[in-house]
Amino acid sequence: MPYRSPVGEFRFILDQVVPLAPVAATERFAEATGDTVDAILTEAARMCDEVLAPLQRVGDLHPARLENGVLRSSPGFAEGYAAIAEGGWVGLAGPQEFGGMGLPQALNMAVNDMMSGACLALQLNPLLTQGQIEALEHHASDELKALYLPKLISGEWSGTMNLTEPQAGSDVGAVRSKAEPNGDGTYAVTGQKIFISWGDSDVTANVCHLVLARLPDAAPGTRGISLFMVPKYIPDANGAPGVANSLKVVSLEHKMGLHGSPTCVMAFEGATGWMVGGEAKGMAAMFTMMNNARLAVGVQGIGVAEAAYQKALDYAVDRKQMGAIIDHADVRRMLTGMKADIFASRSIALACAVALDMGRATGEPEWQARAALLTPIAKAFGTDVGMAVSETGVQIHGGMGFVEETGAAQFYRDVRVTAIYEGTNGIQAMDLVARKMMDGGEAAFRLLQEVEDAANAARAARPELADLAEHVWTAAETLREATEWLVRQDVQDRFAGAVPYLRAFARVLGGHFHLKAALAEAEAGPRTALARIYVTRLLPQFAAALDEAKQGAAGLYALSAEDLAA
């Protein structure tokens, strides 16, 4: 069976587990009523299932190509993109004054999840545009906003992010691209960028690059970086794409997956650019785009996990080996674990989106801190789940999983990059234990208190959930103690345990949300059974992860680089 968007799952989570109701109760998001949510989810799902899902395999078999410097995207992608733009999905959360729907990120992320499951390579295009819309909304001049936002929001033009250079990957501060003032308020941008997703496109009329570069005499490191809007075609007096700018795609990367998304080496040769966010304020402006994209990339992992799970489930029902393989205990173990992890990661991502929405609607710092805390967890855990679930999907297919025709392997190949781009998952974990703990762990403690209170409430409300509630409470308490320890460590010791700490945090939050799902049932049903799978089989991993997180850095350096080579 082809991909089916999990509309009912979003309805359930946004009703019962991570309620959207408080968001819809704010003035800013008053339009996000139950009817609107239903209509959006149903309509987006129809497009994903009918238009985007058939393109998934086409993009893999017929990658984007560069022909005499002209980009040709995969067959059918132009029509698929047109459906996304016409549906208004690029601007779902975009500002209404520029043509967006102004709806909550929580709803936007639900739609992104479905689009990612249907066709990841194409979905990466609107994902980047959405991030750019947010960066311009917050940091661009009124003139730039008026010129670019309506076109980006309608999907006529697309947006990219240009950070990476050969010597500047995770170390963005090493960016060397230059921007010289032209004397008329514009800048001449020169430099090479690598790995630029959708760096050119024949599915939109213009491609708008947000480029990190340095002004002459800029300070070294991230402090000296500015941000520029550098369009492929310079808009004319009427705002239509005019003369071609001095930039080109030099080549496309050959990748292990995500073939339908052109990954470009870009050359900017004195290209005309407009500054966004002020001199040397480029990183702050780019961070707006990156934070949006980090959550959205976590959601990509979850969307792919959903699609890989559906395919594996269909196969397990059909395939007979001493009976249908779905009836074998080990296959059940794999399928239930996949489903439990998808639910956990999806709830975490939506909780992050709800916190973002509440932060924006109320301006309350506690919501903003909650969103900031959850962003690296949602990104890294969502993409870890994407990788693990698609890998298990291959296993469930047996030998057929290793054979490309089934499509199981494509999910695995495509999703692999989500743990790498938008800041590797290692960088996300370091962000969690350093920047996000600069409050001494306050935001983390507040969240863990809610987890413990909810576990106590569950125990009181439903005695048959008492054992599950006990597990979740104990895990949260252990994580709270580990966090108290963590914030007292020096940064090197924190970094040495950052990835396992993040994983432990995600595991505990997953337990919390599964417990809420179980509570939503009047009596023990499938949600409770799934919660039991998660809490008894997957949640216990938090303890081993925390043990590892507390080992510190010294032991890692007890083996020298020479020892590692011996």
Which residues of this chain interact with ligand FAD, rule CB under 6 A? 160-164, 169-170, 195-197, 255, 258, 263, 417, 420-421, 423-424, 426-427
Considering only the C-alpha atoms of the chain, give the largest distance between any 2 of them, rounded to a whole number of Å: 77
Shortest spacing between CB 202 and ligand FAD, in angstroms: 17
Closest CA to 15 of 525, 526, 520: 520
Alpha carbon distance 541, 276 (integer Å): 44
The answer to whether the CB of 335 falls within 8 A of the CB of 316 is yes
- Provide the pairing of β-strand 241-244 with 206-214: unpaired
Q: Residue 302 CA to chain centroid, in angstroms?
A: 9
The answer to whether the CB of 462 falls within 8 A of the CB of 341 is no
The 3-state DSSP composition of the chain as helix, strand, coil percent (nearest 5) reads: 60, 15, 25
Shortest spacing between CB 73 and ligand FAD, in angstroms: 15
- Specify the residue, 99 or 426, whose C-beta has the smaller distance to ligand FAD: 426
What burial class does residue 565 get, using C-beta atoms within 10 Å of its C-beta: 0-12 exposed, 13-18 middle, 19+ buried?
A: exposed
Contacts of 423 (CB under 8 A, 6+ apart): 170, 290, 294, 379, 431
- Provide the pairing of β-strand 206-214 with 247-252: unpaired
Beta bridge partners of 266: 193, 249
Contacts of 437 (CB under 8 A, 6+ apart): 444, 483, 486, 487, 494
- Specify the residue, 93 or 258, whose C-beta has the smaller distance to ligand FAD: 258
- Specify the residue, 187 or 195, whose C-beta has the smaller distance to ligand FAD: 195
The answer to whether the CB of 161 falls within 8 A of the CB of 282 is no
- Specify the residue, 10 or 421, whose C-beta has the smaller distance to ligand FAD: 421
Shortest-Cβ-distance residue relative to ligand FAD: 169
CB burial of 258-295 (b: ≥16 within 10 Å; e: otherwise) equals bbbbbbbbbbbebbbbbbbbeebbbbbbbebbbbbbbb
Shortest spacing between CB 167 and ligand FAD, in angstroms: 9
- Specify the residue, 205 or 553, whose C-beta has the smaller distance to ligand FAD: 553
Among all residues, which ones are annotated catalytic?
422
Contacts of 499 (CB under 8 A, 6+ apart): 380, 425, 426, 429
The answer to whether the CB of 170 falls within 8 A of the CB of 234 is no
